[in-house]
Amino acid sequence: MNGDVEMNEKQRYITLDLGGAPMTPWCRFKRVVKRTFRIELFIGLWVTIREMFKTLFMGKSHTTKYPFEKMPISSRYRAIHDMLRLLESGHYRCIGCGLCEKICISNCIAMETRYDENQRKEVSGYTINFGRCIFCGYCAEVCPELAIVHGARYETASEQRASFSLFEDMLTPIDKLKEQKEFEGYGAPSPWADKNIKKTPLAY
């Protein structure tokens, strides 16, 4: 008992005077009316009302009309991969080095390469098993050509996992080449990369 008293003193509880609780129905009714018509309510609703006016009469809205509209996402967001093309020739950038396949932590990249008619290495098959991909971004980071990058496609609901996983699905469509954006996420050159470039000695 003694202990409790001491503690109360130490913690210095202050009892607030809230007025007495309404005792009669009439008193209760009076309080409801008072609370309802006090101006505070409208202060609380002010933002809503302002936005309502903006939306209704000024055509300014914060709602993203998904799926017709999408939020812009950070270049560091790691969604379904894109395979980029060279802007000059339109050829896919991937040289078939296999580093992404090697580094992939969940072992979900499979690729196939061959010696083509022009004595070059052709990527004849490339798939990512998105059932296993953990979107770690290692592949994009290791790629020496900035060929495989993470794109912005985050909706991955589909009838089949295979829907996104082929080279053709990931590759920038050739008619959309102009819209291809340079990747800025992990693995992209730093903004000051130019400063680090050294001159190669050349004999001519």
Given CA atoms 190, 78, 101, 148 in this order, what sign does their dihedral have? negative
In angstroms, give the least distance from the CB of 190 to ligand SF4.
19
Nearest CA to 145 among 86, 198, 200, 81? 86
By CB under 8 A, the count of residues binding other proteins is 28
Residues 145-204 that bind other proteins (CB under 8 A): 145, 198, 200-204
106 binds, among ligand SF4, other proteins, none (CB under 5 to 8 A by kind): ligand SF4
Instruction: Return the ∠ at Cα 12 (arms to 9 and 18), rounded to 5°.
Output: 125
> Does residue 107 contact residue 132 with C-beta atoms inside 8 Å?
yes
What phi, psi does 59 have (nearest 5°)?
70, 25
Assess 108 for contact with ligand SF4 (CB under 6 A). Answer: yes
Question: What is the DSSP pairing of strand 121-128 with strand 109-115?
Answer: antiparallel
105 binds, among ligand SF4, other proteins, none (CB under 5 to 8 A by kind): ligand SF4
**Binding string to other proteins for residues 113 to 152, with x set by CB under 8 A, is what?**
xxx---xxxx--xxx----------------xx-------
For 51, left (φ over 0), alpha (ψ -120 to 50), or beta?
Answer: alpha
E strand spans, the chain: 80-83, 109-115, 121-128, 148-153
110 binds, among ligand SF4, other proteins, none (CB under 5 to 8 A by kind): other proteins
Distance in angstroms between the alpha carbons of the first and the last residue of the chain: 98
Q: Which stretch binds ligand SF4 (CB under 6 A): 14-22, 34-42, 127-135, 179-187?
A: 127-135
Among 28, 35, 102, 132, binds other proteins (CB under 8 A): 102
Residues 63-82 that bind other proteins (CB under 8 A): none
Give how far the C-alpha of residue 128 lies from the chain's centroid of Cα atoms, to the nearest Å. 20
In angstroms, give the least distance from the CB of 71 to ligand SF4.
22
Give contact residues for ligand SF4 (rule: CB under 6 A): 94-100, 103-106, 108-109, 128, 133-139, 142-143, 145, 147-148
Give contact residues for other proteins (rule: CB under 8 A): 95-99, 101-102, 110-115, 119-122, 125-127, 144-145, 198, 200-204
